Amino acid sequence: MAVNLKPPRNEDLHPVAGGELGFAEAGIRKANRRDLMLMRFAPGTRIAGVFTQNSFAAAPVQMCRQHLAARAELRGLVVNAGNANCGTGEAGLRAARVTCEAAAKLVGCTPEEILPFSTGVILEPLPVERIEAALPDCVASLGADCWADAATAIMTTDTVPKGASVQSTIDGRTVTVTGIAKGVGMLQPNMATMLAFVATDAAVSRPVLDRLVREVADASFNRVTVDGDTSTNDSFVLIATGRAAGAEITSAESAAYSALRDAVVAVAAPLAQALARDGEGATKFITVRVEGGRDEAEVLRVARSIANSPLVKTAFFASDPNLGRLLMAIGNAGVTDLDTAGVNLWLGDVQVIDHGERAASYREEDGARVMQPEEIIVRVVLGRGNASTAVWTCDYSYDYVKINAEYRT
């Protein structure tokens, strides 16, 4: 079960002016479950995205990159669950193209104004004819106030749909930001995420939107990991319909940009954390904070080394304060000139390492106590600079192995 994560309700997620969502049961992999989602946007909508850096980028990722490079404005996107359309060669690209063509006819635009997304099993042909047949049902269910329902249509091994929403006042006007995401395994994004779709009614120029999506990804989705594996289909797109009153944001140096960035991060960060909270088989949600590094890259390496270590993650599952595993992970981070005598480490409110050694005040029973809660904070201070960061992760339980062993059955 997900760690302290409740499914969103439609009324919890603000509609975004200029955007509608619809969903359907296409039977792509399993019958009688939502597995197809369509988002339709008003003319003039701009979209920016970041995608997986995995060399085996899936066919829909390749097509998204092409369409975003060719068009300044787009009208819709289609997401299917159950099949990743990855490792499928030219046939996979044709299937992605047919998906765009079918959606374009229903939305009333060109295929190049549609972005396709897929998630699920890799190396299997996409049954695109099922998508074509079910898209009219998506159109029939289109609505502005059904973000939570739509979130259920993009799930794979997720146990809880994921959504977040805020409203903020920018230059005296109300701006809405709402988003949904999916992903619980094969999860360590790198300039992307599993699948995440965040929309705002703010008016933003395309160059500024391109910068914003990258900054938001770095502050949210690029700070979460479940198992250290970067998916072939990772995608995060930021949609700006421009329907809110007010001037277009054309400068990343403006106060309006900073306010919008804060609002989008306020949606993206909880979505990113939700991925770890719902990590496959997760029983604990862990925040790894690393401080006192020389630069951002250094503290991120250390945080990820801890968060991705199977030995550390299984110790958290067992509530076992195995301090040696934490030291091992810090030492394996690739900080070659690290002075270990300057390293301090806390589990929750208990200092366990003092200047590279077991803290004199540390007691095993204190360590066991702070390993029990469902949410745990690991704090590392390297003592060599001012850079800091945080990474969110979860533990490894028996169920993680079971879920992945049975993924295709």
Q: Could you tell me if 59 and 86 are in contact, meaning their C-beta atoms sit under 8 angstroms apart?
A: yes
Report the chain's mean pLDDT, rounded to a whole number. 93
Q: Indicate the DSSP class of residue 201.
A: -
Domain-embedded: residue 43 = yes
* Judgement on whether residues 161 and 44 belong to the same structural domain of the protein: yes
Domain-embedded: residue 1 = no
Which CA distances in Å does 95 have to 69, 90, 285, 347?
20, 9, 38, 49
Domain-embedded: residue 33 = yes
Among residues 254, 277, 300, which one ends one of the domains? 277
pLDDT for residue 191: 36
Per-residue model confidence as pLDDT tens digits over 93-138 = 999 999 999 999 999 999 999 999 999 989 999 999 999 999 999 9
Q: How confident is the model at residue 80 (pLDDT cuts 50, 70, 90)?
A: very high
pLDDT for residue 284: 96
Residue range of the domain that includes 53: 10-277
Q: Could you tell me if 256 and 211 are in contact, meaning their C-beta atoms sit under 8 angstroms apart?
A: no
pLDDT for residue 193: 41
**CATH at residue 393:** 3.10.20.340
- Residues with a catalytic annotation lie at 193
Domain-embedded: residue 4 = no
* Judgement on whether residues 26 and 140 belong to the same structural domain of the protein: yes
Q: Indicate the DSSP class of residue 308.
A: H
Domain-embedded: residue 386 = yes
* Judgement on whether residues 338 and 239 belong to the same structural domain of the protein: no
Per-residue model confidence as pLDDT tens digits over 312-369 = 999 999 999 998 999 999 999 999 999 999 999 999 999 999 999 999 999 999 999 9
* Judgement on whether residues 326 and 220 belong to the same structural domain of the protein: no
Torsion of CA 288, 278, 311, 293, to 10 degrees: -20
Among residues 277, 300, 324, which one ends one of the domains? 277
Residue 39 has phi, psi (to 5 degrees) of -115, 130
* Judgement on whether residues 141 and 224 belong to the same structural domain of the protein: yes
Q: Total domain count for the chain?
A: 2
pLDDT for residue 262: 98
- What's the predicted TM-score (pTM) here? 0.93
Amino acid 235 reads S
* Judgement on whether residues 238 and 107 belong to the same structural domain of the protein: yes
Domain-embedded: residue 5 = no
* Judgement on whether residues 240 and 297 belong to the same structural domain of the protein: no
* Judgement on whether residues 254 and 309 belong to the same structural domain of the protein: no
Which CA distances in Å does 4 have to 218, 221, 260, 274, 278?
24, 19, 28, 9, 9
Among residues 236, 256, 277, which one ends one of the domains? 277
Which CA distances in Å does 61 have to 58, 241, 300?
5, 22, 26
Domain-embedded: residue 39 = yes
Give the three-class secondary structure for 237.
strand
pLDDT for residue 148: 98
Per-residue model confidence as pLDDT tens digits over 145-159 = 999 999 999 998 899
Q: Which of 54, 93, 96 is nearest to 77 (CA)?
A: 96
* Judgement on whether residues 168 and 310 belong to the same structural domain of the protein: no
Q: Looking at 218-232, 240-254, 342-356, which range is the least confident one?
A: 218-232
Per-residue model confidence as pLDDT tens digits over 368-394 = 999 999 999 999 999 999 999 999 999
pLDDT for residue 366: 96
* Judgement on whether residues 150 and 32 belong to the same structural domain of the protein: yes
Give the burial class of 211: count Cβ atoms within 10 A of its Cβ; 0-12 exposed, 13-18 middle, 19 or more buried. middle
**CATH at residue 130:** 3.60.70.12
Cβ neighbours of residue 258 closer than 8 Å, sequence gap 6 or more: none
Per-residue model confidence as pLDDT tens digits over 15-66 = 999 999 999 999 999 999 999 999 999 999 999 999 988 889 999 999 999 9
Per-residue model confidence as pLDDT tens digits over 141-190 = 999 999 999 999 999 889 999 999 999 999 999 999 999 999 865 445 55
* Judgement on whether residues 174 and 36 belong to the same structural domain of the protein: yes
Which CA distances in Å does 361 have to 194, 267, 356, 364?
42, 40, 14, 10
Provide the percentage of residues in the chain whose pLDDT is more than 70: 95
* Judgement on whether residues 16 and 47 belong to the same structural domain of the protein: yes
Instruction: Report which secondary-structure segment, H or E, holds 121.
Output: strand 114-121
Does 206 score more than 50 pLDDT? Answer: yes
Q: How confident is the model at residue 400 (pLDDT cuts 50, 70, 90)?
A: confident
Domain-embedded: residue 3 = no
Amino acid 13 reads L
